[in-house]
A and B are shown apart, each in its own frame.
Chain A
Amino acid sequence: MKASILGRSLRPVAATLAAAAIGLGASGAAHAQAKEQFIPLTGYWVGPYAAGGSGFFGGMVDYLTMLNERDGGVNGVKFTFEKCETEYNNARGVECYERLKKKGPTGATLVHPLSTGITYSILEKAPQDKVPIISMGYGRTDAADGRVFPWVFPLITTYWSQASAMINYIAKKEGGHDKLKGKKIVLLYHDSAYGKEPHAVLQDEAKRHGFDLTLIAVAHPGNEQGAQWQQIRQIRPDYVILWGWGVMNPTALKAAQKTGFPREKMIGVWWAGAEEDTIPAGDAAKGYVAAGFNVAGTNYPVIREIQKYVYGKGKGEMDDKSRVGSIYYNRGVVAGIITAEAVRLAQERFGKGQPMTGEQVRWGIERLNIDNARLKQLGAEGFMPPLKVTCQDHEGSGLVKFQEWDGKQWKVLTDWIEPDRKLVRDKIEASAAAYAKEKGIALRDCSKEN
């Protein structure tokens, strides 16, 4: 009797499960024919770096969702997403990449690892899987040489370009490069591969322009910098370049206040130039300047479109809507623009209205030419620099703007500032050539690419 009661009571459960299975099968069949472009979101929404990860991926998803809502995607192909939490951990990043690379009708379109470590971890895997890697403003700098790294795109600008652009900015402030002679500049850096990245470029610039460069390391995580700032106080530099990450940045700003160093003379790298770096420092951050390859703010048509078509329909990614328009969020929007434009370009070549494979999208990224006219059409004029990618040049821009924190928000101080292109490019090519030699990679002949 008990068994039959059990059987009866389980019947609806079995029916539900069967219906679910049929439903799944049906959706799987639909999936195979769907006009969908799958974007893997290997990001971080919890853990120590969640503020940056949630902002960046929030912006990217919101932009692509806006295209889905407003235009029905790209020529009718809608973007779909799946999140995978990496917590900024390399092993988990690789796991997420492996899990998502084959999803969607054509597999992963491309991947934004948002971590230099994860970028390095999948650097050799992704080309085998034919998935392009976009590492905007991070990752391996010499991957800007597309002849050696056809699948990797450190787009817009690299650490080396940025370091050089910072010196150009200082020179501009001082009234010319000749005024740099005899000046004292301190690089306060995160003691990691990331923090050591600008050393060579800055040392070259110091030699060339005759300024005195002092390198001061801060051990991870950087929540204690008393000793470093006492050294800085003794050196009495004209400028401090802050190459920090996470808690190191507000701690540096607070320590600068404590030692009386003017924040106007502190210039941060773009990973030290978000609201997450300045708000915790309170008043100590007032006047601080940071470089950025995207600006903050909501007063751009592209952001207004997101607010209208995404948040207006209650579909936004950000729980805290005040973060829309923040530096990390807007950087994610830039990532969304680049992703969509690459897909659009690939479709023009390989079939309008069709989902593109990773290989086809790679072709598209390598031919991106987002000029000012296109930026205007996209509602992003002044929001990001123009971008022209080629087979040789996977950086595509190298420009940064400098922004000042006024205590409440970032204010743009300059127009797009150029790096010393020759210095940077020579270094990139030398480093990429050494890598190619080590790995036995033959350089692509870009004249034969169509």
Chain B
Amino acid sequence: MQFFLEVLIGGLLSGVMYSLVALGFVLIFKASGVFNFAQGALVFLAALTTVGLMERGAPGWIAGLIAAILLGMAVLAVRKGRGAALGGRDWRKAGMFAAIAVGTILLIHKPLPFWGAVAVTLVFMVGVGVATERVVLRPLVNQPPISLFMATIGLTFFLEGLAQAMWGANVRGLDIGIPDEPIQWVMDRWGVLVSSFDLAGAGIAAVLVASLAVFFNKTRIGRALRAVADDHQAALAVGIPLKQIWAIVWAAAGFVALVAGLLWGARNGVQFALTFVALKALPVLILGGFESIAGAIVGGLIIGASEKLAEVYIGPMVGGGIESWFAYVVALLFLLVRPEGLFGEKHIDRV
């Protein structure tokens, strides 16, 4: 019984880690109805950027490129401002771009402390999100979802390549200061092994989920997001700023990717395989529904617990190594009962 409990708790905690990645997918899907294939690549890019900045600061060429783009945008903002007679506001924008450009240049080859690197990575990930909206998604407004999905596949390979071009192919460790050791008093009291790191990861995921749930359900932007997801054109017609909404969501997905990247990176090392954690999120999404934050969490818990129990109790009978596909079996079984996922919205179309 003790062993069963241990496997169950371990599975539930792993499940929360899967949910963390699944959240990024849910955010984008909720806002644009697009399955963002690039979420795994975003996790990799975020983690690698953080450790890269800690290790050796920004590489010259990428910092120079970003600064040049930002300065160009600053100039454009000023010129646009004169034409539109909105000088004051656009000067502010230009100033902001110029300041970030200078900041980027100052980062060249300057290793940063952990929190500094996290902050700069956050800005970078928000930038990547906004740029994705500008360059990849905006030209595809009102196109069928499959076009947007294909665009995110392209984006995946670009981001993976960019990450390795920026920081090299080295595998790195990441210490975020949370020990990955059994909690002794739990061990002494119940004889059950629970890792302090997994527990902390679950706590961080819980806070993230709670804040995102509030954001989506209680704020105007959240409601606008849901309207956009339902129908781009209708949302535009009632005056919802689609582009702005998409940029916000991609920036939020970048933030979630950063948190997931830091936790998974600290767990297994920062390396290309971080892109594979997306595979762990897929059954969670199938089970929990693509549009539900709560579904991502509950789905993660169910998948995590069931795959671990299956590996331990069924695995030895069939030669082991079953957890990766068993997760999909569980998800597909749930689909038989609830085709829209556990928490997915039922879509009823007028015929």
User: Which residues in A have some Cβ–Cβ distance to B below 8 Å?
Assistant: 45-51, 53-54, 191, 215-221, 223-224, 226-228, 230-231, 233-234, 246-247, 250-251, 254, 257-260, 276, 279-282, 284, 319-320, 323
**Is there a chain A Cβ closer than 8 Å to B30's Cβ?**
no
Given known pairs A50-B169, A223-B276, A260-B182, the reply for A280 and B324 (CB within 8 Å) is no
**Is there a chain A Cβ closer than 8 Å to B133's Cβ?**
no
Q: Are A250 and B268 in contact (CB under 8 A)?
A: yes
State in angstroms the CA–CA spacing of A309 and B10 once bound together: 53
A residues less than 8 Å from B14 (CB atoms)? 224, 226
Main SS at interface, chain B: helix
A197 shortest CB reach to chain B, Å: 15
Q: Are A280 and B182 in contact (CB under 8 A)?
A: no
**Is there a chain A Cβ closer than 8 Å to B319's Cβ?**
yes
Q: Are A258 and B195 in contact (CB under 8 A)?
A: yes
Contacts A48-B275, A258-B182, A279-B172 known; 17 new A-B pairs at CB < 8 A: A48-B271, A48-B273, A51-B170, A223-B273, A224-B280, A226-B10, A226-B14, A227-B7, A230-B3, A230-B308, A230-B312, A247-B273, A250-B268, A258-B181, A259-B182, A276-B171, A280-B171
Given known pairs A254-B268, A280-B171, A282-B175, the reply for A215 and B273 (CB within 8 Å) is no
**Is there a chain A Cβ closer than 8 Å to B320's Cβ?**
yes
State in angstroms the CA–CA spacing of A416 and B305 once bound together: 45
A333 shortest CB reach to chain B, Å: 19
State in angstroms the CA–CA spacing of A228 and B308 once bound together: 9
B residues less than 8 Å from A323 (CB atoms)? 170
**Is there a chain A Cβ closer than 8 Å to B277's Cβ?**
yes
Name 20 A/B residue pairs within 8 A (Cβ), A-sorted.
Answer: A46-B169, A48-B272, A48-B275, A219-B322, A223-B268, A227-B10, A227-B308, A227-B311, A230-B10, A231-B312, A247-B273, A259-B182, A260-B193, A279-B172, A280-B173, A280-B174, A281-B173, A282-B173, A282-B175, A320-B170
Which residue of A219, A251, A258, A260 contacts B324 across the interface (Cβ within 8 Å)?
A219
Q: 8 Å CB contacts to A: which residues of B157-201?
A: 160-161, 164, 168-175, 180-182, 193, 195, 197
State in angstroms the CA–CA spacing of A48 and B169 once bound together: 8
A30 shortest CB reach to chain B, Å: 34
Q: Are A247 and B312 in contact (CB under 8 A)?
A: no
State in angstroms the CA–CA spacing of A223 and B272 once bound together: 11
Q: Are A279 and B321 in contact (CB under 8 A)?
A: no
A308 shortest CB reach to chain B, Å: 25
Given known pairs A219-B325, A227-B11, the reply for A281 and B311 (CB within 8 Å) is no
Of the candidates B273, B275, B276, the one having the most CB atoms from chain A within 10 angstroms of its own CB is B273
B148 shortest CB reach to chain A, Å: 25
Q: Are A247 and B180 in contact (CB under 8 A)?
A: no
Chain B residue, CB-CB nearest to A214: B316
State in angstroms the CA–CA spacing of A48 and B273 once bound together: 6
Which residue of A54, A215, A220, A226 contacts B11 across the interface (Cβ within 8 Å)?
A226
A residues less than 8 Å from B197 (CB atoms)? 258
User: Which residues in B have some Cβ–Cβ distance to A below 8 Å?
Assistant: 3, 6-7, 10-11, 14, 160-161, 164, 168-175, 180-182, 193, 195, 197, 264, 267-273, 275-277, 280, 307-309, 311-312, 315-316, 319-325
Closest 10 CB pairs of A and B: A280-B269, A50-B169, A217-B321, A191-B321, A247-B273, A217-B320, A227-B311, A219-B324, A48-B272, A219-B321
Q: Are B320 and A224 in contact (CB under 8 A)?
A: no
B182 shortest CB reach to chain A, Å: 6
Q: Are B272 and A191 in contact (CB under 8 A)?
A: no
Given known pairs A226-B14, A230-B7, A320-B168, the reply for A279 and B269 (CB within 8 Å) is yes
Chain B residue, CB-CB nearest to A228: B311
Which residue of B172, B264, B269, B276 contacts A221 across the interface (Cβ within 8 Å)?
B276
Chain A residue, CB-CB nearest to B319: A217
Of the candidates A226, A254, A257, the one having the most CB atoms from chain B within 10 angstroms of its own CB is A226
Q: Are B3 and A234 in contact (CB under 8 A)?
A: yes
State in angstroms the CA–CA spacing of A65 and B1 once bound together: 62
A245 shortest CB reach to chain B, Å: 10
B residues less than 8 Å from A320 (CB atoms)? 168, 170
Q: Are B161 and A46 in contact (CB under 8 A)?
A: yes
State in angstroms the CA–CA spacing of A280 and B172 once bound together: 5
Q: Are A258 and B180 in contact (CB under 8 A)?
A: yes
B212 shortest CB reach to chain A, Å: 24
State in angstroms the CA–CA spacing of A277 and B172 once bound together: 9
Given known pairs A46-B161, A51-B171, the reply for A247 and B7 (CB within 8 Å) is no
Q: Are B173 and A247 in contact (CB under 8 A)?
A: no
Which residue of A45, A216, A260, A280 contacts B320 across the interface (Cβ within 8 Å)?
A216
B residues less than 8 Å from A280 (CB atoms)? 171-174, 268-271
Chain A residue, CB-CB nearest to B318: A217
B residues less than 8 Å from A257 (CB atoms)? 180-181
Q: Are B171 and A218 in contact (CB under 8 A)?
A: no
Which residue of B168, B173, B268 contacts A279 across the interface (Cβ within 8 Å)?
B173
State in angstroms the CA–CA spacing of A434 and B207 once bound together: 60
B residues less than 8 Å from A45 (CB atoms)? 169
B residues less than 8 Å from A251 (CB atoms)? 267-269
B113 shortest CB reach to chain A, Å: 17
State in angstroms the CA–CA spacing of A319 and B316 once bound together: 45
A residues less than 8 Å from B273 (CB atoms)? 48, 221, 223, 246-247
Chain A residue, CB-CB nearest to B3: A234
A residues less than 8 Å from B11 (CB atoms)? 226-227
B79 shortest CB reach to chain A, Å: 32
A residues less than 8 Å from B172 (CB atoms)? 279-280
State in angstroms the CA–CA spacing of A230 and B8 once bound together: 11
B314 shortest CB reach to chain A, Å: 11
Q: Are A227 and B268 in contact (CB under 8 A)?
A: no
Of the candidates A51, A220, A227, A234, the one having the most CB atoms from chain B within 10 angstroms of its own CB is A227
B58 shortest CB reach to chain A, Å: 16
Q: Are A215 and B268 in contact (CB under 8 A)?
A: no
State in angstroms the CA–CA spacing of A257 and B307 once bound together: 22
A residues less than 8 Å from B7 (CB atoms)? 226-227, 230
A233 shortest CB reach to chain B, Å: 7
State in angstroms the CA–CA spacing of A216 and B319 once bound together: 8
Which residue of A219, A247, A259 contacts B271 across the interface (Cβ within 8 Å)?
A247
B residues less than 8 Å from A282 (CB atoms)? 173, 175
A residues less than 8 Å from B280 (CB atoms)? 223-224
State in angstroms the CA–CA spacing of A48 and B182 once bound together: 31
Given known pairs A230-B10, A323-B170, the reply for A281 and B269 (CB within 8 Å) is yes
Chain B residue, CB-CB nearest to A53: B169
Q: Are A230 and B180 in contact (CB under 8 A)?
A: no
B residues less than 8 Å from A276 (CB atoms)? 170-171, 271
B residues less than 8 Å from A51 (CB atoms)? 169-171, 271
State in angstroms the CA–CA spacing of A191 and B325 once bound together: 13
